Chains A and B, each alone.
Chain A
Amino acid sequence: MEFFRRLQYLLHWRQRSQELQRDMEFHREMMTQQDRKSFGNPARLQEIAHETWGWSWLERLAQDLRYAVRQTHRKFGFSLTVIVTLALGIGANLAIFQLLQGLLFTQLPVTRPAELYSLHAVQSPFDGQWFYSYRAYERLRQATSATAPVIARSGMGTGVLQARDRFSKETTLQMVSDNFFAVLGLSPAAGRFFQPSDDLAGQTEMPVILRYDFARNAFGDVRAVVGMKAVLNRVPVVVIGVAPQRFSGVVQGSAPDLWLPLIAQSSGRFGTWFDSLGPGYNIDLEAPWRNQEGLFWLWALARLPDAEKGQATLRWTQALQPDLRLLANATKDPNEREQILRTQVQLLSAASGEGSLGAEYKRPLVLLLAMSAMFLLVGCLNLGNLQLARLSGRQREIGVRLALGASRWRILRQLMVEDLLLLVLGGVLAFATCRIVSGLLLHWASGRERLIPVDLHFGWALFGIGVLLLILAQLGFSVLPAWRITRNYPAATIHSSRGNIGTSGKRDGRWSSLLLVGQVSLSLLLLSMAALFAQTLLNLGTLDAGLDRRHVLSVHLDLVSGGLEKQDLTSLNKRILDRLRALPAVHAAAMQMCRVPGCIWNSAIHVSGRPDLTEAQMHGEENHVSVDYFRTMGIPLVRGRAFGEADQPHAQRVAILNQAFAQKLFGADDPIGHFIGYKAPPGDHDFQIVGVVGDAHVDGLRLPAPPVVYLSLEQGGDSAATIEVSAVGSPANIATDIRRSLQAVDPDLPIADIVPLNTEFDDGLSTEKLLARLTATFAGLTLALAAIGFYGLLSFQVIRRTSEIGIRIALGSTRGQVLRLFLRQTMLILISGILPGIVLTLLVGRSARTLLYGVRETDPWALVAASCVLIAGGLLATVLPARRASALDPIQTLRAE
C-alpha cells in the first residue's frame, strides 16, 4: 500500500514538489510576518523532505544521467567513437560466434541426440564415401536389437514439385528408411511419419513428408497440406506429414525440402549421389538400386545407448562380412584387400549432425573470430587512450569538484554513469549489428544458390557473452582510466587550465604511447592478414584454370525430373547444337555429361597389355563430351585429334586423356593408339586413345587439375546434362538468346539454370571471399581507429605542451623543428608497434596457411605493404595537430600562462 503511494509520488514528482514548496513558502511567510526567525536554507530543507519519499537514489542517478547526456552531447566525437566501436566490435564478435555456434555446437533437435552415431565401415571405391548398398543396410538392420535401431538416408536429390493451381517448384529431396523419423524420436507437426507399409513397391502414390519451413512458405498452413496430392518428377505423390519446425534433416548444411521412402529410388526418377564397384560389375543405374549389391548410395545412422556400444558394433561387423568380401574381391592391391577384410564398424558421433560442414568452416570462422576479437581489443585500447586524454582535459573540473567536497566515489560514479550511457547505447546497437552481420555472413558464406541452413537463434549464451564483453569493455575503457585519473588529486591541478608540465602529465603520456604501440601491432596484424587474403582471392581469380572460363556459358538441363528418355536425346542434342551454333554471338557450342566445376564422376581405367598398373594409377575422373567440346571450353589439344563427326556409334570407340592421366598411365610414353577399357582383360580393349588434351581445374579452382578421361557422347555415353556455349563477347549478354533458341527447338526442354562458367567457379570461392571481405573490413576499421588514436593523443599533447612549445619557438626553434618533434614521437611509436606486429603476423599466418593460396605469410610484400599503410596513416594523423602546434604564436601562448 505504502509502496504504491511512494510510486505515486515518483510519477507525480513535479506536482508533489510544487505542493511541498508552496506549503513551505506559506510557512515562511507566516513566520516572517510574526517573528522573523531564520529557518535555514529552503532548498536544503526541501531536499530533506523529498528524501522521505524514498527516491533520492533515483534522483541522484537521474542527475548523473542528465549530466552524462550533457557531456555526451559536448563530446560528440568521443561518444560516436565509443558507440561505433562497441556496436561494430562486439556486434561482429557475436555474429561470428553465433555462426560458429550454429555450425559446431548445435545438437540436432531430436530426442537424445548424443545417442546418434554414423556407422563407418569401408569407404566406397571411387568417391571414398562411407556408403552402403541397400542390401548391406538390410543386413545391418536385421542384426540390430530393438534398442539400437539403424536408419538409412540417401544423398540429396532434386525434384520439380507440381501441385494444384499450377504450382511448380524446384525442390531438394532425400530418401530415407521407413524408421527414420521414429528412431530420431520426432513427432510430426502435422499428419504422420513413414511406416513400414510406405516402403513397399507398387504403391500408386508415393508418400512424402515436407520440411516445416518449406511447407509453410510454399503452401501456407502446414495442417492443410496433409493429404495434398502432387506430382514430383512426374511421379504421383501424396503429402502424409510435416516434420517438426526446427528439424531440417540430419546432415549439416543441407536441408531437404521433402523426404521420400527408399522405395522411391526404384522409380528411377530421383537421382542422388552413388558409388559403385565400377563399370565391370554389371551395375545398371536404370534398374532399381535396392537389388544391386555393388551399388552404394546409403549412409547408415544408429541410435545406440552407451551400454550396447561394444556388442552392437561386433554384431554389425559380423553382418557386413558379405559386403566386405565383395569389396575386397574388387580390389587389386592384396594389402588393401587384407585391410578391408579386417574392417570393424566404427562409430562416429552424429549428435550435431553428419557431414563435414562444421569442420570445413571451423578454421576460417575461428580465424575470423580471432580477427574480430583483435579488432575489439584495438577498439578498447583506442577508447582507453581517448578516455585518458579526455579525462586529463577535465582534470581542472574534477579537481574543483573534489575540492568542493565531492567524494571520490561520487566522481567515479559520475564518470562511469557517463560511459554507461554510451555503453548501453553501444550494446543495443551491438545486438542489432549482430543480427544483421550474422545474416550477411551466412549469405556470403553460402554462395549463390541456397542459404546454408544454420540455426541462428539468439540464445541466452549469446546474450551472456555480449553482456560480458560489454562489461569488460566498460572496465577497460571507463573504470580503469577513471580510477587512474581520480587517484592522485593534489589541489595543484586546479592551478592552471593547461595543466602543469610536471611529472603526472608525462606519465599519462607514456601510458597513452604504450596503448598506441599495442594498437599499432594489432593493426599491422589485421592489415597484413587482409593483404594475404586479398592476394589469395586475386591469385585464384586470375588462376589459369586450363580452360576459358571468361567466355563460356553453361546451360544446365534437368533431365531426370524433366523426364526425357535417353533415346530421344541423341537427335535432340544435334538439333540443339546446330541451332545454337547458328547464333551470331556464339563462337562454339558443345555438350557434356558433367557439371563443371565439380563433376566427381570417379572411375578406374584398365590399359590393354599393362596388368602391372596399380589401383592408384588407374583412378581418374571420367566425362562424356560431344564434338567440339574442347574448342568450346578452351581446353587445348596437345597431341593427336579431338572427337570428330567420324566417331559414330558403329565406328571404333575412342577416348582422349588429359595430360595428368596420360602421365599417370603411360609416363613419358606416347599414349596415342593404345587401347583402354573399364574392366580387366578381355574388357580392357574397348576404347582407343586418339588424343591428349591439357589439364583443367574441373573440380574447382583450389583443387589441383585431376586426371580425366574423355569419352565420346555420340558413341553412346551417358546423357548430357550441360550445354556449354562459348560466346564471342561477354557470356551474360547472350543468355536470353540462348534460352529463346532452346525453347524454339523444344518448348518443354527442362532448363534448370543458365550461368556463366566463371560465376560457377566463383561460387567455390565463397570462403575465400568471406575471409578477404571481413579481414579487409576489420583492417580498414582498425586503421581508422589507429589514426583516431594518433590524432587524439597528439591533439591532447599539443594542448598540454602549448607553453613548452611557445618557449621553444620564442627561443628560436623553427616551425619545422616543432613539427619534427611530434613526427619523431609518432615514428617511434609506429616502429615499436610494427616490430611485434610482424612477429604476431608470422604466428597467426602460420596457422592460417591452409586458407591461403599462392602466397605465404612469410612473403615480405604483405608485411611491407601493411607497414607502409600504417606509417602513412599514423603520420597523416600526426601532421594535422602537429601543424597546429607549429603555428602557435609564442607571445600569445606565454601571455596566456
Chain B
Amino acid sequence: MTERPKSGMPAGALILLILRVLNSGSSHGYAIAQRIHVLSREVLQVEEGVLYPTLQRMLLKGLVKAEWGISETNRKVRFYSLTPAGRKQLRAELSDYNRVNDAIQTVLRTA
C-alpha cells in the first residue's frame, strides 16, 4: 500500500478547523480548503487527499451533512454544513483544545 499524503498538521486538528470554518456557514470542499489556507495566512495547506477522506469520515460520524447547491462559478456542487452533533462536537473540541493549548503554553513559559 502506498503512503498516505501528508497533511502537514496533526490529524485531529483538521477536523477542528473544518468544524470551525463550517460554523460560520455552509461551504463546498474547495472553499473549506481555501478558507483554511487564507485564514492561516497561507501557512496551512489542506491537500485534497486529506480533505476528502476527512470529510467522508465526518459525514459518517454525522458531524456534517452535504446538500447540493450552486457554486460561485455556477457549478452544481455539494455544500457541507454542520449538524447539531457537529456543533456540539465543535464546542467540546474547542474547550479541549483551549485547555490543552493553555497547558502547553504554561509549560513552555515556565519551564
Contact = CB atoms under 8 A, between A and B. Distances in A.
Interface of A: 1-2, 5-6, 9, 19-20, 22-24, 26-31, 39-40, 44-46, 48-49, 51-54
A27 B62 contact: no
Contacts of A53: 56, 60
A19 B80 CA distance: 12
Contacts of A26: 28-30, 71, 75, 77
B48 interface: yes
Q: Which of A22, A31, A52 has the most CB of B within 10 A?
A: A52
B74 to A, nearest CB: 12
Nearest to B2: A44
A1 B30 contact: no
Nearest to B33: A27
B71 to A, nearest CB: 7
A45 B52 contact: yes
Interface in B17-55: 28-30, 33, 47-49, 51-53, 55
A48 B47 CA distance: 13
Contact of A49 (B30, B53, B76): B53
B91 to A, nearest CB: 20
Contact of A39 (B2, B47, B60): B47
Contacts of B71: 26
A19 B78 CA distance: 8
B4 interface: yes
A48 B49 contact: yes
Contacts of A39: 47-49
Interface in B51-96: 51-53, 55-57, 59-62, 66, 71, 73, 75-78
Nearest to B61: A2
Interface size class of B (residues with CB under 8 A): 20 to 34
B5 interface: yes
A23 B47 contact: no
Nearest to A26: B77
Nearest to B47: A39
A40 B28 contact: no
B57 A52 contact: yes
Contacts of A1: 62
Nearest to A48: B53
B60 A31 contact: no
A45 B56 contact: no
Nearest to B52: A49
A139 B38 CA distance: 109
Given A9-B60, A24-B29, A40-B49, 16 more contacts: A2-B61, A2-B62, A19-B66, A20-B52, A23-B52, A23-B55, A24-B48, A26-B28, A26-B30, A27-B51, A30-B30, A31-B30, A31-B48, A48-B5, A49-B53, A52-B56
Nearest to A44: B2
B56 A49 contact: yes
B5 A5 contact: no
Contact of B56 (A20, A22, A28, A40): A20
A31 B47 CA distance: 11
B15 to A, nearest CB: 12
B60 A45 contact: no
Contacts of B4: 48
Contacts of B75: 26, 29
Contacts of B48: 24, 27-28, 31, 39-40, 45
B49 A52 contact: no
A45 B49 contact: yes
15 contacts: A2-B60, A2-B62, A19-B66, A19-B78, A23-B28, A24-B52, A26-B30, A27-B52, A30-B73, A39-B49, A40-B48, A45-B49, A48-B5, A48-B49, A53-B60
